[in-house]
């Protein structure tokens, strides 16, 4: 899987949007690497409606292991639709599938039984945006509905979860042409869960915090954007480091260009 993702990094060479794909949290690991490839498509000529699809894979290492990123951690397929309906306001809705591998808690960290957990996630995001010359601020509220299953699609022991996420993010453009940028974010997460066989939900409580920093480059004359970043995931007072590498490909199907050409052709 890693070989296929790295191949995509070098084969897709044409189109991109300025954003990055943050790593999902994998719990209390020793370290994690996250690799992702995304496709972002404008669905209208004004870029108010957009589609974002990405595929990502995370690998992890455990405590006291000398081999970094030894274990398969998670595989993700995510589809999100955006509507930038006002100058400072945007919302989105998304559907996601995730397969997260499970390992025993002590060395030699063999696969657990069951060996992986499946997740189906539906979420909505509401965002406030403020742009200055070389500075951009984004404040986001995100609500998730999550369902978990074992490999045979039987309910996981924690089968349903509601998760709320609050995030503040700042983007600094390092050049006037916005080729280079730095992005810093802070996010806190709260959860409410229901266990299999129980009717009652748990209390709504704080879950974890995530601090992120990314460097991104969109080469002049190219539609690609490349991002490398770091995330510090604070889970139960433990800091888990994440290294992230991603690329996003913008307008691979040229839908907005075709709509614009059609509008000119028919004098609309």
> What domains are there in the chain, each with its CATH number?
2-265 (2.40.128)
pLDDT at 45 over 90: no
pLDDT computed for residue 185 by the predictor: 96
Average pLDDT, integer, range 104-108: 88
pLDDT computed for residue 65 by the predictor: 86
pLDDT at 6 over 70: no
pLDDT at 110 over 70: yes
Cα 125 from chain centroid (whole Å): 12
Average pLDDT, integer, range 74-88: 96
- Residue 33: pLDDT band by 50, 70, 90 thresholds? very high
Question: If DSSP states are collapsed to H, E and C, what string results for the chain?
Answer: CHHHHHHHHHHCCCCCCCCCCCCCCCCCCCEEEEEEEEEEEECCCCCCEEEEEEEEEEEEECCCCCCCCCEEEEEEEEEEEEEEEECCEEEEEEEEEEEEEEECCCCCCCEEEEEEEEEEEEEEEEEEEEECCCEEEEEEEEEEEEEEECCCCCEEEEEEEEEEEEEEEEEEECCCCCCEEEEEEEEEEEEEEEECCCCCCCCCEEEEEEEEEEEEECCCCCCEEEEEEEEEEEECCEEEEEEEEEEEEECCCCHHHHHHHHHHHCCC
- Residue 264: pLDDT band by 50, 70, 90 thresholds? low
pLDDT at 9 over 60: no
Average pLDDT, integer, range 75-102: 96
CB 211, CB 232: distance < 8 Å? yes
pLDDT tens-digit profile of 82-95? 999 999 999 999 99
Percent residues over pLDDT 90 in the chain? 69
pLDDT at 58 over 90: yes
Omega into 108 within 30° of 0, i.e. cis?
yes
pLDDT computed for residue 259 by the predictor: 62
pLDDT computed for residue 10 by the predictor: 36
Closest CA to 202 of 163, 229, 150: 163
pLDDT tens-digit profile of 142-190? 999 999 999 999 999 999 999 999 999 999 999 888 899 999 999 999 9
Higher-confidence residue of 260 and 267: namely: 260
pTM, two decimals, is: 0.86
Q: Which of 68-72, 159-163, 217-221, 242-246 has the lowest mean pLDDT?
A: 217-221
CB 166, CB 140: distance < 8 Å? yes
pLDDT at 214 over 70: yes
Higher-confidence residue of 4 and 147: namely: 147
**How deeply is 73 buried, as exposed, middle or buried, from its count of CB atoms within 10 A (0-12, 13-18, 19+)?**
buried
């Amino acid at each position: 899987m890693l070989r296929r993702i790295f191949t995509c990094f070098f084969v897709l060479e044409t189109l991109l949007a300025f954003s990055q794909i943050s790593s999902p949290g994998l719990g209390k690991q020793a370290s994690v690497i996250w690799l992702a490839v995304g496709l972002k498509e404008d669905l209208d000529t004004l870029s108010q409606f957009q589609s974002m699809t990405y595929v990502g894979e995370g690998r992890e290492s455990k405590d006291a292991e000398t081999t970094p990123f030894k274990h398969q951690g998670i595989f993700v397929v995510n589809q999100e639709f955006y509507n930038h309906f006002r100058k400072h306001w945007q919302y989105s809705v998304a559907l996601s599938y995730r397969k997260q591998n499970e390992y025993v808690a002590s060395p030699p960290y063999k696969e657990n039984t069951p060996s992986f957990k499946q997740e189906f996630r539906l979420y909505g995001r509401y965002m406030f945006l403020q742009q200055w010359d070389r500075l951009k601020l984004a404040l986001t509220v995100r609500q998730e509905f999550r369902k978990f299953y074992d490999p045979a699609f039987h309910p996981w022991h924690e089968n349903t979860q509601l998760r709320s996420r609050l995030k503040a993010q700042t983007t600094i453009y390092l050049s006037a042409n916005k080729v280079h940028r730095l992005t810093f974010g802070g996010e806190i997460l709260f959860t409410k869960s229901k266990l299999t066989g129980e009717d009652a939900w748990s209390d709504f409580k704080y879950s974890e915090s995530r601090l992120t920093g990314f460097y991104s480059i969109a080469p002049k004359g190219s539609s690609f954007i490349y991002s490398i970043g770091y995330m510090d995931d604070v889970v139960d007072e433990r800091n888990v480091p994440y290294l992230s590498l991603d690329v996003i490909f913008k307008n691979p199907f040229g839908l907005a260009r075709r709509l614009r050409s059609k509008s000119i052709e028919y004098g609309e």
